[in-house]
Amino acid sequence: MGTMTLAACGSDDNSASSGIDAANSDATCEGKPNLSGAGSSAQKNAMDQFVATYIAVCQQQGKTVNVAYNPTGSGDGRTQFVASQVDFAGSDSAIKDEQAEEAKNRCVGGEAWNLPLVFGPVALAFNLEGVDDLVLDADTTAKIFNGQITEWNDPAIAALNEGVSLPAERITPIVRSDSSGTTDNFQKYLETAAPESWTSGAGSDFTGGVGEGAKGSAGVAQAVAGGPNSITYVEESFAKQNDLTIAKLDNGNGPVELNETTTGKAIEEAAFVGDGGPGDLTLDLSSIYGNTSAEAYPLMLATYEIVCSAGYDADTSAAVKSFLTSAANEGQEGLAEQGYAPLPDSMREKITASVAAIA
C-alpha cells in the first residue's frame, strides 16, 4: 500500500497535540518509556499522530516516553513481531494460520490479538471534463476495471447518473503496478459486492487485466490528475492532495458520499470473525464491503495493531496498554484531516476493552 512518507521512527514533535488535556486521558504512561513497532505503511501518518499525542499526554504527567514505529510493510512487521524484535506490529491484514501459531511462542503461551485501530477509506477518483458529480456501483466499477465497460457514456453508467452529460470518451483505468494492500482491499470489495462481474480474484497484485499501471498511491493519483477520462482507486488522502473528484458509491439503496459520517457508519456496522471481544477483534471484511446501507461507505481499508494477549514482561505490558489506550481515544482526534476514518464510539469502546484485557 502507498504511504505518505514521513520519518521512519516515532517523533518527538508533539506540537499538533499541544492542546491535549492529560486529565481527560486514561493513559497511565506507566511501564518502559520506549516502545517499538513496525509494519503497515498505510497507517504511518496515523501512527505519527498517535505518538505525538501520547508524548504530549505523558509530558503533562511529567513523564518522558516515545514510540518508534518503522513502516517496513505489513509482512515484515508481522515477522518482526513473531521474532520478538518489536513490541507490536501494524498490519493491513490479520495475523493468522501458521504465523499466529508461531506468535504463541513469542507471547509465551498467550495469543496474538488483532486490534483494528486505523481505518482508511478508498476513493474512486476520476478526471472527467464537465462532470463533478458521478455515481458508480460495484458492478459498473468491476466492469470498468475488467474491461467490460469501456466508454464513459455506457448505458450502465448513464443509468446511475440520470441528467448528467457523460462524454463519449474511452475510459482509462489507472491501476497499481506494484503489490499493494489497497489493490487487495479494492479487489476484495469487488469480489464481495459484484461477484458475478468480478471473477478474477483478489490479492495484492491487480488481476483485472486492463488499465495503465502506476507505482504507489501517489503515482496513480498523479496519473489521474494529468490524464483526462481516467479513473483509479486510491486512498482518500491522495485523492484530496491531487484535487481529484471522488465518485459516490451506490450500494443498492442510493448514492453514498465518502465522508466522515458514512465511513464511521461502515465501521460501526462491521462484524467480527469472533465474538467481538474483549480479545481478538479480527474483522469479517465482507460485512464492510457488502454493506448495502445508504448511510455507509463500503470501500474501506482496515489496518490492525497486533499485540500479545499475554506474555509481555510487566513493563512492556503496561506501556503497550497505555499507548494503545491513548491511540484509541484522544489519538483519533483530527484523523479525518489526514484522510483516515476516526473510530466511532462503538469500535473505540471495543478496542479499549480489549487493550485493558491484555495481561
Known binding residues are 40-42, 74, 92, 180-182
Beta bridge partners of 305: 90, 115
Report the alpha-carbon distance of residue 58 to residue 43 in Å, rounded.
22
Report the alpha-carbon distance of residue 323 to residue 308 in Å, rounded.
14
Q: What are phi and psi of 336, to 5 degrees?
A: -60, -30
Peptide bond into 278 cis (omega under 30): yes
Which cell numbers hold the place of 194? Answer: 459484484
Beta bridge partners of 359: none
Report the alpha-carbon distance of residue 86 to residue 98 in Å, rounded.
19
Nearest C-alpha neighbor of 27 from the set 351, 354, 311, 356: 356
Report the alpha-carbon distance of residue 98 to residue 121 in Å, rounded.
30
Binding residues for phosphate: 40-42, 74, 92, 180-182
- What is the H or E stretch that residue 225 is in? helix 216-225
Return the residue matching grid coordinates 490492525: 304
